[in-house]
Amino acid sequence: MRQVLLAVAAVAALASWPQGSATPPAVREVEVVAEKFKFTPERIEVNQGDLVRVTVRSADVTHGWEIKAFDVDAYARKGGRPETVEFVADRAGSFEITCSEYCGRGHKRMKGVLVVNPGGR
Ligand SMILES: [Cu+2]
């Protein structure tokens, strides 16, 4: 019974997707490890329109994983639980990822990049 309900929900979701869009947004899940002084992976590549779900955890001290262009900032607490942020990559281009929590002498060079490939929407 539960599976039937899920199937109905999926059909309803597809039916409500605006006409003219070829496909619903793909969900891209990425797990990021933050440590002094790098993010792994450093580079994340998605397609324009993707729903990007990023889970960040720290391997040492407290870090942040921030993309100012998309107004997202995941707080990776020291010894704490992972934090997940979600955003739609609605613009193509290369966007800088920075650490938003001061974590030591290498903090400023703790960077990554989000590459959003242009889509046809
Ligand atoms: Cu930092």
Give percent above pLDDT 70 in the chain.
Answer: 79
Q: What residues have a C-beta under 5 A from ligand 1, the ion? A: 99, 103, 107, 110
Q: Please report which confidence band the pLDDT of residue 22 belongs to, taking 50, 70 and 90 as the band edges.
A: low
Determine the pLDDT at residue 9.
47
> 66 CA to middle of ligand 1, Å?
10
Determine the pLDDT at residue 23.
67
* Length reported for the chain: 121
> 110 CA to middle of ligand 1, Å?
6
* Sheet with 111-117, edge to edge strand ranges: 43-47, 111-117, 93-98, 63-67, 72-76
> 116 CA to middle of ligand 1, Å?
24
> 100 CA to middle of ligand 1, Å?
6
pTM score: 0.78
Cβ atoms of 25 and 18 closer than 8 Å: no
> 104 CA to middle of ligand 1, Å?
7
> Whole-angstrom Cα distance, residue 22 to residue 101?
40
Domains belonging to the chain, first-starting first, are: 25-117 (2.60.40.420)
> 88 CA to middle of ligand 1, Å?
24
Least confident segment among 6-15, 33-42, 57-66: 6-15
Bridge-partner residues for 80, per DSSP? Answer: none
Q: Please report which confidence band the pLDDT of residue 6 belongs to, taking 50, 70 and 90 as the band edges.
A: very low
Tokens 């889970």: give the residue: 55
> 37 CA to middle of ligand 1, Å?
7
Cβ atoms of 88 and 17 closer than 8 Å: no
